[in-house]
C-alpha cells in the first residue's frame, strides 16, 4: 500500500493517515505493508510521523521524484503559496525546495506481482481512498493466495 500525501500541515492528509493507521493491523494481517510518502524534508516527515504516532514508514520524497514517476506532481500557484504563507505554511521551508511543487494525494494498492491493483487519485485534495476499499482490495489478494 503506497500513499502519497501533501505534507503534515494538511488536515485532510492527517485525517487520511490516521484512518490508515487505524486499519494498519488489518493491512498487516493481509500480508501487506503500508508506506506513506511526502515531499517534506526527512526531519519534517519524522516530526509529522511522531506527532500522529504512526506505526508505518513515512518517507521523504525530496524533489517529488517518486511522485513525479506516478504523474502526481503539480506546481502550487503563487497566489496559493502566498495564502499558505499567511497561514504560516512555508512550502520551501517544509519541503526544502523552492519549486512550489506538491503531489496530488494518491493511494495505490500494489499486488504481489508488482502491478497496481487499485489506484485512487483525485485533484480535489479533500477526497481520499476509503479504508474499506483498501481492505477489500487486500482481501482479494488474500483469497487468491489461499486458492
pLDDT at position 83 is 94
Mean pLDDT, residues 81-93: 93
Q: Name the region of 20 (left: φ>0; alpha: ψ -120 to 50; beta: rest).
A: alpha
CATH superfamily of 2-146: Glutaredoxin (3.40.30.10)
3: its cell numbers: 500513499
Taking the C-alpha atoms of residue 136 and residue 38, their distance in angstroms, rounded to an integer, is 25
Taking the C-alpha atoms of residue 92 and residue 104, their distance in angstroms, rounded to an integer, is 17
DSSP-H helix ranges across 30-128: 42-52, 65-69, 78-86, 91-95
Confidence of residue 147 (pLDDT cuts 50, 70, 90): low
- Give pLDDT tens digits for 15-29: 999 999 999 999 999
- Give pLDDT tens digits for 122-137: 999 999 999 999 999 9
- Average pLDDT of the chain to the nearest whole number: 92
pLDDT at residue 46 tops 80: no
Amino acid at each position: 500500500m503506497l500513499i502519497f500525501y501533501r505534507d503534515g500541515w494538511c488536515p485532510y492528509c492527517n485525517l487520511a493517515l490516521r484512518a490508515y493507521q487505524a486499519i494498519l493491523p488489518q493491512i498487516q494481517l493481509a500480508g501487506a505493508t503500508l508506506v506513506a510518502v511526502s515531499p517534506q524534508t526527512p526531519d519534517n516527515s519524522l516530526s509529522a510521523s511522531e506527532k500522529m504516532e504512526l506505526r508505518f514508514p513515512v518517507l521523504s520524497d525530496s524533489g517529488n521524484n517518486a511522485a513525479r514517476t506516478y504523474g502526481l506532481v503539480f506546481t502550487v500557484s503563487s497566489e496559493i503559496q502566498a495564502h499558505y504563507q499567511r497561514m504560516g505554511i512555508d512550502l520551501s521551508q517544509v519541503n526544502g525546495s523552492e519549486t512550489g511543487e506538491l503531489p496530488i494525494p494518491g493511494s495505490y494498492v500494489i499486488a504481489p506481482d508488482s502491478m497496481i491493483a487499485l489506484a485512487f487519485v483525485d485533484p480535489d485534495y479533500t477526497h481520499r481512498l476509503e479504508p474499506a476499499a483498501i481492505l477489500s482490495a487486500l482481501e482479494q489478494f488474500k483469497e487468491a493466495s489461499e486458492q
